[in-house]
Amino acid sequence: MAAIKAEPFAFPVKYDQLALIVIDMQRDFAEPGGFGASLGNDVSRIGRIVPDVRRLIQGFRYAGLPVIHTMECHRPDLSDLPPAKRNRGNPVLRIGDEGPMGRILIRGEPGTAILPELAPINGEVIIEKPGKGAFYATGLGEILQQKGIKQLVFAGVTTEVCVQTTMREANDRGYECLLAEEATESYFPEFKAATIAMIRAQGAIVGWTAHVDDILESITHA
C-alpha cells in the first residue's frame, strides 16, 4: 500500500480518494490593513508560507488531484454573522467595517479574495464559509461525497483556528486527515506547535502531520 511519510506514523494514502483543502489564504488574513492586522497580529508570518502552499497546490494539480479552496466571508447584510462572532476580540476594525481593502471579510470585497499567488483555477471548488469550520453552513460535505473523497490534506491558516476546526469536523465525519506542516501558520508560533502536537497525539487521534516535500514526493506517483 502507498504511504506518505508522516507523524505519528506513515499515512496510508489512497490517491483516488485524496484531495487538498487550502484554508482561508485570503488578503484579509495575510496583508496589512486586513482583519488579521486589525487584531494586532504580525501578518508577515502568513506571507512566509505562501511559497510552500503554492508548491503543494501545484503538486496536486500536476498529479490531477482535486484542490479545494475555502474563504471565510459573510453576506453584505451580515445576516449570517452572529453577534457572538462579531463582538469577539478587540480589533481596530470588526467584520463588516470598511477598511483599506473594502469591508472586512464581506463576500466580494477585495480583502476577502484569495492571495493572487494561490488563486483558484477553473474547475477548482471554492467554499465560502461563514464559520471557522469549512463544513458548517456550506456544501463541502456533499461535494466531497460526490467526488468520492475520503482523505484530506490540509494547508492554510490559521493552524489552531480554521484549519484545526475543519480537521476535527472532517475527522468526526470519517475522513482521514493530514496536515502539511510548512504550509500552515498561526500568528502565534506556540499555537501552531501545540496544534500539531494535539492533532497527531494518541496515535493520530485527529490526524497526521507531514512535511510538504514528503507529500509531494508521494503524490508524484498518483
> Which helix (H) or strand (E) is 186 found in, with range?
none
Please tell me which residue in 24, 28, 177, 192 is annotated as part of the active site: 24
Task: Spot the catalytic one: 52, 129, 132, 192.
Answer: 129
24: annotated active-site residue: yes
| Short-list 210, 203, 143, 202, CA closest to 170 | 143
Share of the chain above pLDDT 90, in %: 95
Catalytic residue among 132, 162, 177, 192: 162
pLDDT, mean of residues 157-169: 98
Mark whether 177 is an active-site residue: no
Statement: residue 132 has pLDDT above 90: yes
pLDDT at 222 over 90: no
Q: What is the pTM of this model?
A: 0.97
| Mean pLDDT on 188-199 | 98
Question: Does residue 89 carry a pLDDT above 90?
Answer: no
Q: How far apart are CA 41 and CA 22, in angstroms?
A: 21
Contact between residue 216 and residue 55 where contact means Cβ atoms under 8 Å apart: yes
